[in-house]
């Protein structure tokens, strides 16, 4: 019996199991990703691990069925990454807020009580 089959002997993994798997593999994934970002060569084992982690994210975190990632080729993974990248990495800033409205005229309460209603501007 393969390890994959033994994993599901007690039933499908729970969300907690899936989160534990992703948390456990994340440090290795980040290390491989940093090596890739720095242009370093990585081993076939690391490439496979990197791909498996990406597939696990789709299945366990984004709740995609395993069949959704089984047939993806490397070029399809790459094209998906290219489609998701924005054309401008620095989107324009939002417009500034409108200027504050002037305060209503100040009414002097004492003068109003004395019958002399005026507005002090």
What mean pLDDT is predicted for residues 92-104?
68
How confident is residue 99, by pLDDT bands cut at 50, 70 and 90?
confident
How confident is residue 39, by pLDDT bands cut at 50, 70 and 90?
very high
- pLDDT, tens digit, for every residue of 74-87? 565 555 454 444 45
Residue 42: phi and psi, rounded to 5, are -125, 155
Q: Is the pLDDT of residue 64 over 80?
A: no
What mean pLDDT is predicted for residues 39-47?
92
Determine the pLDDT at residue 59.
Answer: 76
Q: Please tell me the distance from the alpha carbon of residue 64 to that of residue 55, in angstroms, as a whole number.
A: 9
Bridge partners (DSSP) of residue 106 are 120
Residue with the bigger pLDDT between 69 and 38: it is 38
Enumerate the domain spans of the chain.
3-84
What mean pLDDT is predicted for residues 57-75?
70
State the DSSP code for 13.
Answer: P
What are the angstrom distances between the C-alpha of 74 and each of 27, 48, 89?
Answer: 22, 11, 24
Sequence-separated (6 or more) residues with CB below 8 Å from residue 56: 18, 21, 22, 25
Mean pLDDT of the chain: 70
Residue 69's CB is within 10 A of a number of other CB atoms, namely 19
């Amino acid at each position: 019996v393969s390890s994959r089959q033994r994993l599901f002997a007690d039933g499908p993994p729970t969300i907690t199991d899936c989160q534990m798997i992703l948390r456990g593999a994340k440090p290795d994934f980040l290390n491989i990703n940093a090596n890739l970002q720095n242009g370093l060569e990585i081993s076939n084992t690391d490439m496979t691990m990197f791909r498996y982690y990406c597939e696990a994210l789709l299945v366990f975190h984004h709740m995609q069925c395993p069949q959704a990632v089984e047939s993806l080729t490397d070029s399809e993974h790459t094209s998906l990454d290219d489609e998701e990248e924005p054309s401008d990495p620095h989107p324009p800033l939002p417009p500034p807020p409108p200027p504050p409205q002037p305060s209503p005229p100040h009414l002097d309460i004492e003068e109003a009580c004395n019958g002399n209603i005026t507005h002090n501007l």
